[in-house]
Amino acid sequence: MKSANRQTGFSLVELLVVIAIIGTLVALLLPAVQAAREAARRMQCANNLKQIGLAVHNYATQHGALPIGLVASPLSTQPSPRGLPGHTAQAMLLPFLEQSNVLAQYDFGIRNVNSGNREATGTQIPVYQCPSDNSSGRTAANAVFGTEMGRSNYVVCFGTDTMLRDANQKNITTHPDRTGVDFETDGAFRMDGSRRWNNFQDGTSNTIMSSEVLAGQDDSKSTSDVWDARGLWAWHMMGSFCYTHRNLPNTDVGDVMPSGGGSLNCVDAPHMPCDNSAGCQWDVMHAAARSRHPGGVNVVFVDGHVSFISDTIDLHTWQCLGAIADGEVVQMP
C-alpha cells in the first residue's frame, strides 16, 4: 500500500491571511507606539523646562534677582556700532546649566552679533531643545549680520502683550539713544531690567516664566537677511528668545517679528503663521507659545513647577498666567 505524499508549508491563501493579520496588528499598534514615543519626548521637554526653572532660581540666589530679559542699552565698553548689545536671558543662564565652556566663548562686552561671539552663539545647547521638534543639529545664519545661531525651543515670558510698551518710533537695533523708550512689560522678563521675588504679586506659583516655541524652518545661509529667526537662544528678537501671552498657545494668529527693508525674521511654515507687517516697530511685536505636542505646550512657573497647558485654555486665564501683578489669581483646572 502506497503512502500519500504530504506537502508541508503554507498555501498562498494561508500566507496572505497571515500577512493581513500582521498588517492589522501593526496598524493597531503603531499609533500606540507613536503616542508612547511622544509621551517620552514630552516628558524630556518638561524636564528641560524644569532645569531652566532651577537655573533661574540659582541665578537669582547668586545675583539677588532674575536675569535681565534682554540687554538693550549700549554698553560703555561696547565698540562701534553702539547699537543693541542683544544679550539674552538664555545667554546669562549658561553657567547655571553646566554650559561654562560656551560661556567662556561668549563675550558680554561686545554685541551678540559680533563675529567674536559667533562660535558661542552657534553652539547647540541640548537643554534648550525639545526632542519633539527638529531643532537639534540645526543652526541659522544671517549673512548680512555675519552671525550664526543655534536653534532652540524655550523662550522667556515678556507678559501679555508686546515686546515693550513704547519704542518711541526708534529702531532699537541700531539707534543708540534710548530717550523716551519704555521697556516695561507685565511679565516675568523685560529689557534692561530684572524682576525680584517681591515683584510677583500674583504669586510665583501662578505666574509663567518660560514656555516652548517652534524653531523656524528657514535656516538661510545665503547673502540676504531673510530667515526665520524663531527659536534661537542667543538672538535678540521676539519669538527667538522671548514670547508673550497676547494669543493662545499654537494660535492661528501670525507671529509679528521685524521685517522691512529687505529684512525678514519670520517665514511661514506649517503651524507657524507669520505677520510681516510690523517693520521695525518693536512695540507691536509679539509671538505665541508653540509646540509639536498634540493639544498644548509645556510651561514652567516662577516657583519652578512645570505644567502642560491646553490650547483650549481660556484666553483671559492664559493672560493672567503671563502677568506678574494684574491682581487676578487664577486656579488651573
**What phi and psi, each to the nearest 5 degrees, are found at residue 52?**
-65, -45
Q: Where are the beta strands (DSSP E) in 1-95?
A: 70-71, 87-88
Tell me the HSE value of 32 on the side-chain side, using a 13 A CA sphere.
Answer: 5
pLDDT at residue 21, rounded to an integer? 80
Residue 211 · residue 128 · CB < 8 Å: no
Is residue 24 pLDDT above 80, yes or no?
no
Using CB atoms within 10 A of its CB, is residue 67 exposed (0-12), middle (13-18) or buried (19+)?
buried
pLDDT above 70 covers a percentage of the chain that reads 90
Tell me the HSE value of 122 on the side-chain side, using a 13 A CA sphere.
Answer: 16
Nearest to 144 by CA among 226, 78, 72: 226
Q: Copy the grid coordinates of residue 7.
A: 506537502
Across 79-85, average pLDDT: 74
pLDDT tens per residue across span 123-150: 999 999 999 999 999 999 887 778 899 9
Is residue 83 pLDDT above 90, yes or no?
no
Amino acid, single-letter form, for residue 314: D
Higher pLDDT among residues 235 and 260, named by residue: 235
135 by DSSP, 3-state: which?
coil
pLDDT at residue 196, rounded to an integer? 97
**Most confident residue range from 16-25, 37-46, 290-299, 324-333:** 290-299
Across 192-211, average pLDDT: 96
Which region among 29-38, 65-74, 150-159, 201-210 has the lowest average model confidence (pLDDT)?
29-38
CA–CA dist 62, 57 (Å, integer): 9
